[in-house]
């Protein structure tokens, strides 16, 4: 029996919906509030132990059916030069008995799968809504929300992303997200398959791509920009065009041919944050990007959020008090997510400084060995 019976999850993204599912599976009634009216975003890959967490949530098989499983022999993590010549194979990730196949999935599809699973468990999800006030008391948290409701919860989970308002409320003097010196450019396009999946390294930046069901192709890219600047949609398109034009690899040349002026591109600065103190105060705890946002260099941000959710539910289920659950959670999560954040930031630095690809592969391989251990 869990040490709480009700929980409010602030944020209906990957971390929040995963937490609502995991807590509901232990018998905790969960409500979710999410500002966004509909799920959005590009694509992400889930690998390592995160796929086991997906399985614990009961959604791994559906994610594979509606995404792209990366079976042995995939070239999606290989590194190639601007002309398309192989530089190195992707870093070898540890395998263990029963290890599940990594999967790439369109973010809105993943969020839909998670939302449907949560609703089946009785979770109420209110979109376009967030918290107004949260009064933490000995017997619970009295919360008012922007849709005019007031309710008391035994537990509040802040899963509202890197710009977390919940974090700002808990830790008004806490750290702010830091800029990593690079921008992420992402493009979801459609059309016939393009041969040559992998990561291409060129003079302007690097880009990769892989295919998704329904004729979709996901193209993420990374470009160094020393100082953080505001990029308009036109700036993002011009930067992405310049990146594509710097390659002669046939696959990238074909992408450039398909790029149109109205292409739906997403350009965002790579930012990161890692709370050095506890991620909780009173009966409220932060998970996912609200506590430990990272750059995408390891492709583990979403996976860490899902692991957080599963481990939090385990801790809540096994503890006799909220304080005990939070302490156990921190003991199990702090070192693991620190590995991801610090390794990702270091990979960003190496990339900006033009380090050889072998240095990145070695650092990744070491981190993956650590992350291969159970969460």
Q: What are the tens digits of pLDDT across the range 33-58?
A: 999 999 989 999 999 999 999 999 99
Rounded CA gap, 192 and 179, in Å?
36
| Residue where the block lists tokens 């690998």 | 47
Give residue 289's pLDDT band: very low, low, confident or very high (50, 70, 90): very high
Rounded CA gap, 79 and 156, in Å?
42
Assess whether pLDDT exceeds 70 at residue 215.
Answer: yes
Give residue 214's pLDDT band: very low, low, confident or very high (50, 70, 90): very high
Give residue 266's pLDDT band: very low, low, confident or very high (50, 70, 90): very high
When comparing pLDDT for 360 and 294, which is higher? Answer: 294
Assess whether pLDDT exceeds 70 at residue 341.
Answer: yes
3-state secondary structure of 184: strand
Closest C-alpha to 184, from 159, 215, 162, 214: 162
Give residue 276's pLDDT band: very low, low, confident or very high (50, 70, 90): confident
DSSP state, 321?
S
pLDDT at 162: 98
Assess whether pLDDT exceeds 80 at residue 94.
Answer: no
Residues 6+ apart with CB under 8 A from 19: 7, 9, 30, 157, 159, 287, 308, 309, 312, 313
Residues 6+ apart with CB under 8 A from 1: 27, 317
Assess whether pLDDT exceeds 80 at residue 91.
Answer: no
User: Phi and psi for 184 in degrees, rounded to 5?
Assistant: -100, 125
pLDDT at 359: 87
Rounded CA gap, 7 and 16, in Å?
11
Whether the CB-CB separation of 309 and 18 falls below 8 Å is answered with yes
Q: Which residues pair with 109 in a beta bridge?
A: none
User: Phi and psi for 202 in degrees, rounded to 5?
Assistant: -135, -175
Assess whether pLDDT exceeds 80 at residue 355.
Answer: yes
Q: Give the number of other Cβ atoms within 10 Å of residue 298's Cβ.
A: 23
Lowest mean pLDDT among 115-119, 260-264, 337-341: 260-264
Q: At what angle do helices 301-318 and 14-25 cross, to 10 degrees?
A: 30
Q: In terms of DSSP bridges, do strands 284-286 and 280-281 run parallel, antiparallel, or are they unpaired?
A: antiparallel
3-state secondary structure of 132: strand
Structure tokens at 358: 């072998």
pLDDT at 1: 65
Q: What is the mean pLDDT of residues 203-208?
A: 96
Taken in order of first residue, the domains within the chain and their CATH numbers are 6-71+91-176+272-371 (3.50.50.60), 180-270 (3.30.9.30)
* Percent of the chain residues past pLDDT 70, beyond the cut: 99
Q: What is the mean pLDDT of residues 215-228?
A: 97
3-state SS track over 102-121: CEEEEHHHHHHHHHHHHHHC
Q: In terms of DSSP bridges, do strands 265-272 and 280-281 run parallel, antiparallel, or are they unpaired?
A: unpaired
Q: Which residues pair with 135 in a beta bridge?
A: 142
Assess whether pLDDT exceeds 80 at residue 75.
Answer: yes
Structure tokens at 336: 């693991």
Whether the CB-CB separation of 192 and 204 falls below 8 Å is answered with no
Whether the CB-CB separation of 298 and 340 falls below 8 Å is answered with yes
The CA-atom distances, in angstroms, between 114 and each of 26, 53, 110, 125, 216 are 17, 12, 6, 11, 21
3-state secondary structure of 211: strand
Q: What is the mean pLDDT of residues 326-332?
A: 98
| Residue where the block lists tokens 């948290």 | 141
Closest C-alpha to 199, from 325, 375, 67, 360: 360
* Percent of the chain residues past pLDDT 90, beyond the cut: 89
Give residue 10's pLDDT band: very low, low, confident or very high (50, 70, 90): very high
Whether the CB-CB separation of 188 and 265 falls below 8 Å is answered with no
pLDDT tens-place string over residues 141-184: 999 999 999 999 999 999 999 999 999 999 999 999 999 999 99
Rounded CA gap, 330 and 51, in Å?
21
Q: What is the dihedral of CA 315, 319, 325, 328, to 10 degrees?
A: -70
Structure tokens at 109: 């599809």
Give residue 258's pLDDT band: very low, low, confident or very high (50, 70, 90): very high
């Amino acid at each position: 029996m869990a040490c709480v019976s009700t929980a409010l999850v602030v944020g209906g993204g990957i971390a929040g919906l995963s937490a609502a599912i995991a807590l509901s599976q232990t018998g905790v009634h969960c409500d979710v509030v999410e500002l966004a009216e509909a799920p959005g975003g590009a694509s992400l890959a889930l690998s390592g132990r995160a796929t086991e967490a997906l399985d614990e949530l009961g959604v791994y098989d559906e994610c594979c059916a509606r995404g792209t499983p990366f079976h042995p022999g995939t070239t999606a993590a290989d590194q190639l030069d601007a002309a398309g010549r192989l530089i190195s194979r992707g870093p070898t990730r540890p395998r263990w008995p029963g290890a599940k196949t990594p999967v790439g999935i369109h973010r809105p599809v993943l969020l839909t799968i998670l939302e449907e699973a949560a609703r089946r468990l009785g979770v109420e999800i209110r979109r376009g809504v967030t918290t107004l006030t949260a009064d933490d008391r000995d017997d619970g948290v009295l919360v008012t929300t922007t849709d005019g409701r007031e309710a008391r919860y035994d537990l509040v989970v802040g899963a509202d992303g890197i710009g977390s308002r919940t974090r700002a409320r808990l830790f008004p003097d806490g750290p702010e997200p830091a800029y990593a010196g690079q921008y992420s450019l992402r493009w979801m396009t459609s059309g016939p398959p393009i041969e040559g999946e992998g990561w291409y390294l060129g003079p302007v930046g690097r880009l990769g791509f892989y295919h998704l069901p329904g004729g979709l192709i996901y193209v993420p890219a990374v470009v160094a920009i020393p100082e953080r600047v505001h990029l308009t949609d036109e700036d993002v398109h011009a930067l992405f065009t310049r990146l594509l034009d710097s390659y002669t690899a046939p696959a990238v040349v074909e992408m450039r041919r398909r790029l149109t002026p109205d292409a739906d591109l997403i350009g965002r600065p790579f930012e990161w944050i890692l709370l050095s103190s506890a991620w909780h105060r009173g009966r409220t705890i932060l998970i996912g990007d609200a506590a430990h946002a990272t750059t995408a260099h390891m492709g583990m941000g979403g996976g860490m959020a899902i692991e957080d959710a599963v481990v939090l539910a385990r801790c809540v289920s096994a503890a006799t008090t909220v304080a005990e659950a939070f302490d156990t959670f921190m003991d199990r999560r702090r070192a693991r997510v620190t590995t991801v954040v610090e390794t990702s930031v270091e990979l960003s630095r190496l990339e900006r400084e033009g380090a050889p690809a072998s240095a990145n592969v070695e650092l990744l391989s070491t981190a993956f060995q650590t992350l291969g251990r159970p969460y």
